[in-house]
Structure 1
Amino acid sequence: MINMIENINDSTPSNFIYDFMWIAEYDDGELLTEYNPQYNPRTTDFYSIDKSKLLRYGYIGSGLRVYFNVYDGIFNINNSTYEIFFKYNNQLYSLTNMLGVKYNDIIQFKRRTAYFNPLTGESCGSMNGNIDSYNIGWKSKLYIGNIEFSVKAIYSIQKNELPLLQIKIVPNQDFQNCEVVIRKDRLIEYNYPCNMKSNIGGELQWVVR
């Protein structure tokens, strides 16, 4: 099947007010974009996405193309792939590409900054501008044996900073001397030792490289 997201222009329309826009690819080849000047209304509601038909979801803009497949949750960032693993007792468990899992509980938000002084009524910034970050990803409950993991993975495009891959893992039991592992292009591994408490877990903010 043709990857439609890989075959579209990675720039946003010139009259779109943001640097990046989300794009959803359905399993029938249809593309749904956050903004399309040919339609009325021109913007698409995020909640109108049909998750049952979703095949890929991502961002395009400013020469960047980032997305993940809902059938494996693996991030593709400018033609490099990023997989996520959990390592314990020298066993490596995949948190992406788990058999039978659909990573279609998608996340998308823009973080903005606005300032308001209640004493003077002065404000700076608006809800339409001053975007600090564009964020896209997925969340899922994953099971390894009788252990449940609540996992959230978000790719964050930071204003004036390097992009981050934010990974939050919450298991239903304690783990000591475990590791979160990120594998790039099925070859290079980055390992981060940690301890996790039941129903609290931890979060890794990893600078994408």
Structure 2
Amino acid sequence: MLFTNSGNNQAISIPYNWNADYANGKNYAEYDLLTHKKNDFYLIQKNQVIRFGLFGQGMKLFFEMSDGSFNINGRRIEIEYIDDEDERTYHLTTNFENKDLITYKEAFTDFNNVQGIQKSNLKSINFGYKTTYTKEETQLFFQPVVSLPFEDSPFIEVKITSNKSMNGHLIFKSRGIEIERFYAPLEAYSAGQINWVIK
């Protein structure tokens, strides 16, 4: 398993590669670590995945499939939503529901009239998941995505949609200690989004 071993695997071809650690102790990376052959994201055995994320540049960034908590280079990051009106806490990253894996790259290409289209330039590499968090009559669609931009600070893009209107705060924690909170009222069936710079 790549994410829990002490080795420092180098990404191939680009600064960060995605990787899935499997329950049987094996892993499936974007590029085979021995042959450097590119693997297909859609062939990940999703029912076997226990961790998913990125590695490269001496870092490992992933989430635990079991509960959805993030591990950002050795530091556990958790996200909660507190409804101020009924004082309920929704532990979004302590969520044992199924999770759909997400990874994508943002790139741009310059164009000029003399040389035409130039080569693509990577802007960021991203990973995360989407899931539904259910607590009694409340359902929250939750999509956290860690973004690693090449010319800016890493951040987590959080999207939440609720089946009812709520007036509360979104809270970011590191190792169980609150780092930052944001006022985040939710309107029923309307998506809310925030980008939190990882601290």
For normalisation by structure 1, the TM-score amounts to 0.87
CA–CA distance in 2 between the matches of 1:121 and 1:63?
Answer: 36
> Structure 1, residues 122-151: CA drift from partner, whole Å, max 9, x if none?
21332xxx1100100010011121121111
CA–CA distance in 2 between the matches of 1:96 and 1:188?
Answer: 14
Q: Give the counterpart of 2:180 among 171, 181, 190.
A: 190
For normalisation by structure 2, the TM-score amounts to 0.91
Give the match's secondary structure for 1:52.
Answer: helix
- Tell me the equivalent position of 1:6: 4
CA–CA distance in 1 between the matches of 2:179 and 2:88?
Answer: 15
Give the match's secondary structure for 2:42.
Answer: helix
Q: Give the counterpart of 1:82 among 77, 80, 83.
A: 77
Gaps of 5+ in 1: none
- Tell me the equivalent position of 2:32: 36
- Tell me the equivalent position of 2:131: 140
Q: Note if contact 2:138-2:164 (Cα within 8 Å) is conserved in structure 1.
A: yes
Identity %: 24
Q: Give the counterpart of 1:18 among 14, 31, 49.
A: 14
Q: Note if contact 2:10-2:58 (Cα within 8 Å) is conserved in structure 1.
A: no
Q: Choose between structure 1 and 2: higher strand proportion.
A: 2
- Does residue 59 of structure 2 align to residue 69 of structure 1? no
- Tell me the equivalent position of 1:169: 160
- The Cα shift of 1:37 comes to 5.2
- The Cα shift of 1:36 comes to 1.9
- Does residue 85 of structure 2 align to residue 91 of structure 1? no
* Number of equivalent positions: 197
- Tell me the equivalent position of 1:155: 146
- Tell me the equivalent position of 1:123: 117
Q: 1:37 to 1:185 in 2, by over 3 A?
A: closer
Q: Over aligned residues, Cα RMSD in angstroms? A: 1.8
- The Cα shift of 1:29 comes to 0.5
Letter in 1 for 2:136: G
- Tell me the equivalent position of 1:203: 193
Structure 1 outlier segments of 4+, above 6 Å: none
Q: Give the counterpart of 2:48 among 53, 56, 61.
A: 53
Give the match's secondary structure for 2:151.
Answer: coil
Letter in 1 for 2:88: Q
CA–CA distance in 1 between the matches of 2:31 and 2:52?
Answer: 14
Segment drifting more, 187-196 vs 106-115: 187-196
CA–CA distance in 2 between the matches of 1:56 and 1:86?
Answer: 23
